[in-house]
Structure 1
Amino acid sequence: MEALVCKVGAEFLDNYDASTDRCWIAERNDEFLGCIVLVRDRDASNTAKLRLLPVEPSARGLGLGRALIEQCTQFAREAGYVRVRLWTQNVLVSARRLYAKKGYKHVSSEDHGVFGEGHCGECWELVL
């Protein structure tokens, strides 16, 4: 997981465009609580990709994930995107529940084994 986070962070910094990309970081008393990243999907026009939504265990249940998703979606609308796509894992039940509550729809699944046996990648999409 750490390698994936580093890769996504590096791609964000290497390709950053202030008009289409954003990263929100939640902190309390200088302590990291969570973040979310939105970038332009370079393979699909008018489409953004939601990347990363880690929330520290100490911050879970406070509505932080919901607030980060809402901020991300609001910016996507303001930036003129027509859809937001994301890739998640079947075992991330709380995150999947949040995406569904915010209108994202599960569009496809694939067994990949990247994070171990029993993990299935899922693509979700929100039409704005």
Structure 2
Amino acid sequence: MLPTIHKDYIPGAIGRIVELHAHYYSQLVGFGLPFEARVARELAEFCERYDGERDGLWLVQQDGNIEGAIAIDGAHAGQDGAHLRWFIVSDKMRCTGVGSALLTAAMEFCAARHYDRVYLWTFEGLGAARHLYEKFGFRLVHQQLGAQWGVEVNEQRFERVCQFTVSPSHT
């Protein structure tokens, strides 16, 4: 069965998104309990205050399982920009175009709400993700050493100034 993208929360989404993040980043860079707890806490808080007019959550489903996610937190979009968060795709869904489909859905949502800026925090060393962000017009605007995720990494902030076009550039 082909994967589908579902908008908004479904039961089990918080746990599965946390699980995907915990496993992937533990293997990649050694993130552990502080990272997993932070993802769980912040994602649960986001879901509790979720407003479908302002916020977005998209889930990739295949065979009844959640295999990817992305969120737009619009709570402070007017002042700081919309915050792209919890973008993850399972190992079996990587390199299938699902990540691009999730980013497209999120950026279309931002365009429909006329969010003039979208930002995300990540860290150096995630080449495939960075390539995808840059295809969608995100640019690195700040970096610093930090340990907000429990292990010291070179944290990076990417921003996209929106002109209300969504398609990735073909560079």
Taking structure 2 as the reference length, the TM-score comes to 0.69
Is 2:151 aligned against 1:116? Answer: yes
Q: Tell me, in whole angstroms, the C-alpha distance in 2 between the residues paired with 1:25 and 1:85.
A: 20
Shift of 1:33: 1.1
Q: After the TM superposition, which parts of structure 1 deviate over 6 Å for at least 4 consecutive aligned residues?
A: none
Per mean C-alpha deviation after superposition, the further-off stretch among 21-30 and 35-44 is 35-44
Change (3 A) 1:37 1:31: same
| Partner residue of 2:88 out of 54, 60, 73 | 54
Shift of 1:110: 1.2
Is 2:13 aligned against 1:6? Answer: no
Q: Which amino acid aligns with 1:127?
A: V
Q: Which amino acid aligns with 2:129?
A: A
Shift of 1:14: 2.8
Is 2:125 aligned against 1:91? Answer: yes
Change (3 A) 1:111 1:49: same
Secondary structure, aligned partner of 2:87? coil
Taking structure 1 as the reference length, the TM-score comes to 0.90
Shift of 1:75: 0.2
1:100 maps to 134
**Native 8 Å contact 2:77 2:83 kept in 1:** no
Q: How many residues are matched?
A: 127
Identity of aligned residues (%): 31
Computing the radius of gyration over CA atoms, which structure comes out larger, 1 or 2?
2
Secondary structure, aligned partner of 1:49? strand
Is 2:74 aligned against 1:40? Answer: yes
Is 2:112 aligned against 1:75? Answer: no
**Native 8 Å contact 1:23 1:37 kept in 2:** yes
Change (3 A) 1:43 1:111: farther
Shift of 1:47: 1.7
Secondary structure, aligned partner of 1:52? strand
1:66 maps to 100
**Native 8 Å contact 1:105 1:126 kept in 2:** yes
**Structure 1 unmatched ranges of 5 or more:** none
**Structure 2 unmatched ranges of 5 or more:** 1-34, 163-171
Superimposed CA distance per residue, residues 8-34 of structure 1 (whole angstroms, 9 cap, x where no aligned partner)? 312212321221101000010012210
RMSD: 1.7
Q: Tell me, in whole angstroms, the C-alpha distance in 1 between the residues paired with 2:116 and 2:77.
A: 14
**Native 8 Å contact 1:8 1:51 kept in 2:** no
